[in-house]
Amino acid sequence: MENTTYKDAENTVKRIKNFYNHLQIFVIMMLVLLLFSDMIISFFEARISNPNSLSWIKANIWVNAVLWFFGLLIHGIYVFKFKANFIDKWEQKKMKEIMKENKQ
């Protein structure tokens, strides 16, 4: 029983660590996008003659940031606040199966 509690705690710490890694990458990439978005757009302006393509590139920079933010938000909610019962039950069931297989 104590071993499973340790494993649960270890898994929780791994999930939290993964979230913080995700957050770090998000912050770095958003800073790069925001600081260099004008430079990125200027780069493509000089090479693309179709204004629709340029509009798509501008929109894509911001849409990508917003979608990634929502993904990060969902990741954070999953790790820290809300965990659906079916996920918890599935994890417990899977852990018992693996422990049973290891005993054999």
DSSP the chain: -HHHHHHHHHHHHHHHHHHHHHHHHHHHHHHHHHHHHHHHHHHHHHH---HHHHHHHHHHHHHHHHHHHHHHHHHHIIIII---HHHHHHHHHHHHHHHHHHH-
| Separation CA 104–CA 96 (nearest Å) | 13
9-25: buried (b, 16+ CB within 10 Å) or exposed (e) per residue? Answer: eeeeeeeeeebeebeee
Q: What is the pTM of this model?
A: 0.67
Share above pLDDT 70 across residues of the chain, in percent, rounded to a whole number = 91
Q: Look at 31-35, 67-71, 97-101 and tell me which has the smallest mean pLDDT.
A: 97-101
pLDDT bucket at 63, cuts 50 / 70 / 90: very high
Per-residue pLDDT at 95 exceeds 90:
no
More confidently predicted of 81 and 39: 39
Q: What was the pLDDT predicted at 85?
A: 64
Counting the structural domains of the chain, the total is 1
Domain of residue 50, residue span: 2-103
